[in-house]
Amino acid sequence: MIKTRQPTEPSDDLTIELYSNLSMSLDRFFAVFLVISAITLLIAIYPLALGLWPVMVISLIHIVLVGLCFRSAWRGNWVREIIHFDAETVTIRHLAANKSWQVQWPVTWLRLAHNADRQGHVRVYLGQHGQNQEIGGFLPAHERSELSGLMKTALAKRTGWVAPANREMVGT
């Protein structure tokens, strides 16, 4: 999901926020886990009443493993990137559950580039002086193309890099 924020007062600042496409919020994920756990425990109560206690132990182990899998799946897919353009610099903040980083470049000679991988998926990069940083790699293809358009618009009045025939600020 892509959101843009511009200040209410006239300014050159622009913020683009990129969110990973999580179909479930953490609260909804927890509710699904509670329902699965309750059903598992309700099923295990009858064998426990008959004296088959290993069924309850296996059910509890199952609940713990499902909880760990849910936690791993949600944390592994939670990503957010914040790209902030001002008159002088662009700041890219990448926030994820397992790692975070930040890059700040002067916007003067910043270049937007597209590269396609072997499957034909387009990747969007910002680069300067031989350094490239992929932007929005976790987004679906249609959102990456939307991001590319937003980035071109944001860079159009800020960068000094213009391709021949004044087409775009895009490299190959």
Among 168, 139, 143, smallest CA distance to 153 is for 168
Alpha-carbon distance 110 to 126, whole Å? 7
Q: Do residues 93 and 81 touch, judged by C-beta distance below 8 A? A: yes
User: How high is the pLDDT of residue 1?
Assistant: 66
User: How high is the pLDDT of residue 170?
Assistant: 47
How many of the other CB atoms lie within 10 Å of CB of 102? 10
How much is the average pLDDT of 99-120?
83
Three-class DSSP category at 27: helix
162 vs 68, more confident? 68
How much is the average pLDDT of 97-122?
82
Q: Which two tokens stand for residue 156?
A: 């159009």
What tens digit of pLDDT does each residue of 114-171 get? Answer: 887 777 778 888 888 888 888 888 888 888 888 888 888 888 777 766 554 444 444 4
1 vs 21, more confident? 21
The CATH number of domain 2-22+78-171 is 2.30.29: yes
Residue 7 binned pLDDT confidence (cut-offs 50, 70, 90): low
* Most confident option among 9-18, 58-67, 91-100: 58-67
Q: Which two tokens stand for residue 25?
A: 């919020």
Looking at residue 116, the DSSP 8-state letter turns out to be E
Alpha-carbon distance 107 to 110, whole Å? 5
User: How high is the pLDDT of residue 132?
Assistant: 85
Three-class DSSP category at 83: strand
Among 88, 80, 130, 124, smallest CA distance to 105 is for 88
Residue labelled with tokens 């559950």: 97
Among 65, 61, 74, smallest CA distance to 30 is for 74
Q: Which two tokens stand for residue 36?
A: 């699965």
108 vs 168, more confident? 108
Integer-rounded Cα Rg, in Å, for the chain is: 23
User: How high is the pLDDT of residue 6?
Assistant: 60
How much is the average pLDDT of 9-30?
77
**Element spanning 106, H or E:** strand 100-106
Q: Give the residue range(s) of CATH 2.30.29 domains in the chain.
A: 2-22+78-171
Quote the mean pLDDT of the chain: 81
Q: Is the confidence at residue 41, as pLDDT, over 80? A: yes
